[in-house]
Structure 1
Amino acid sequence: MKYNAILLVVTDMEKSKKFYKEVLGLRPIMDLGANVTLTGGIALQTLESWKEFIKKDEKNISFGANDAELYFEEDEFDGFIEKLEKLNQVSYVHPVEEQPWGQRVVRFYDHDGHIIEVGENIKLVCKRFLDSGMTKEETAKRMDVPLKFVQECID
C-alpha cells in the first residue's frame, strides 16, 4: 500500500484553488473539475461530489471542526508572515507564537475552516539556537531533541 494524498472537501473549488496558490504557493497538477490535485500531496474535492461518494447529505459533513490541520514548514518564515498579512485573506486560529521547543508557528483557516499550520523549518530553528551561542547540548535540551538531530542540522 502507498499513501497518496489528503483530500479536503471544499465548498467553492475556484476560491480554494486561488487560496492555496496565493497563500501557500500550491499549484494544480491535475484538474478534473470536481477533483483537483495540488502540489504537496493535497487534493481538493467539491462538496457536491463528495456527498455522492460517501452517500451522506450536508448535515452529516462538518466544516471547521478544529480536529486536524495541514502542516507546512517554511524556510523564509518572516517573509511568509509578511506575505500572509499583506494578502489579508485568512482568519487566524492564533497569530505567530513560539512553541515550547522554540519553533515559531502560525495557524489559520482556509475558506472552509480547515486549519493550516505553517512553522519555521525545524532545522533552521536548531541553527538559530546554535548561532545565538548555545552549545549543541544546550540546543538539544532546549528543543527536546536528541543530540544526534542537532548534529544532523549542522552537517
Structure 2
Amino acid sequence: MAENTTFSYHSTVLFVEDVERSKEFYTQVMGEEIDLDLGRNIIFRSGVGIWEGGFARGVIFGDAGSESENNNFSSKRMLELYYETDDMDRSVEAIEAVGVEWVHRVVEQPWCQRTIRFLDPDGHMIEIGERMDVCARRLAGTGKTPEEIAAATTLPLEVVRQMLRG
C-alpha cells in the first residue's frame, strides 16, 4: 500500500433478501434511523447499511440470479452487529415481542456483561449487551468493590471508578 493512501471505516453492509422487511426490522425493532434510502440500498445514521442481495450480486459479480461457488457470495456469511443497552430487561421484552430466532437469551459473559444474541430476518446475528457502565453499577449494587469490579470485568480500575461516579 502506498504511504499516502488513507482508508477510513465507513459502514457495515448487510446483504439481505428483502430490503423492505429488513428496513422495517432495523427501524422498528433496533431503533435505527434512516440516513439515506436508495430503494435497494439503505444507509442508517449509525453506519449500518442494507443492500438487496440479488442486486448486489449483479453489481459485484455480474450475475444477479445465482450464488455459485465461483463467485463465493452468500448473504448468510457469519457476521454480528453489536448494540448496547442501558436496560437489558426492557430490551429482552422488546425483542421477544417481535418473535426473533434466538441464538441465546440473557447470558453473563466471562467479563460480567449481560448479553443476548438473535438473528435478523436474513439470519445475520445481532448482539445486544448491557453498557459496561451499567454492568459496573449492577456489580456495585451487589456489594462488589471497585477493585473487585475491575478484576471481574477486566476494565482498568480508574475506568471503573469513573463509571461508578457518573
> What is aligned with 2:76?
64
> What is aligned with 1:99?
109
For residues 70-100 of structure 1, give each alpha carbon's deviation from its aligned partner in whole angstroms, at most 9, with x where no partner exists.
0011112110101111121x11111211111
With 91-100 and 10-19 compared, the bigger mean Cα shift is at: 91-100
With 121-130 and 145-154 compared, the bigger mean Cα shift is at: 145-154
Structure 2: gaps (5+ residues): 1-6
Q: Which amino acid aligns with 1:132?
A: T
Mapped to 1, the partners of 2:151 and 2:106 lie a distance apart of 23
Q: What is the TM-score of this pair, normalised by structure 2?
A: 0.86
> What is aligned with 1:85?
96
> What is aligned with 1:22?
28
Rg larger for = 2
Mapped to 2, the partners of 1:142 and 1:122 lie a distance apart of 12
> What is aligned with 2:4?
none
Mapped to 2, the partners of 1:134 and 1:94 lie a distance apart of 27
Structure number with higher helix proportion: 1
> What is aligned with 1:39?
45
Which stretches of structure 1, 4 residues or longer, exceed 6 Å deviation after superposition?
Answer: none
Q: Which amino acid aligns with 1:136?
A: P
> What is aligned with 1:75?
86
> What is aligned with 2:130?
120
How many positions carry a matched residue from both structures? Answer: 153
1:12 and 2:18 matched:
yes
Kindly indicate whether the alpha-carbon contact (under 8 Å) linking 2:10 and 2:47 is maintained by their aligned counterparts in 1.
Answer: yes
Kindly indicate whether the alpha-carbon contact (under 8 Å) linking 2:14 and 2:75 is maintained by their aligned counterparts in 1.
Answer: no
Q: Which amino acid aligns with 1:58?
A: E
Instruction: For residue 58 of structure 1, give the secondary structure of its aligned residue in structure 2.
Output: coil
Instruction: For residue 49 of structure 2, give the secondary structure of its aligned residue in structure 1.
Output: strand
> What is aligned with 1:133?
143
Identity %: 37
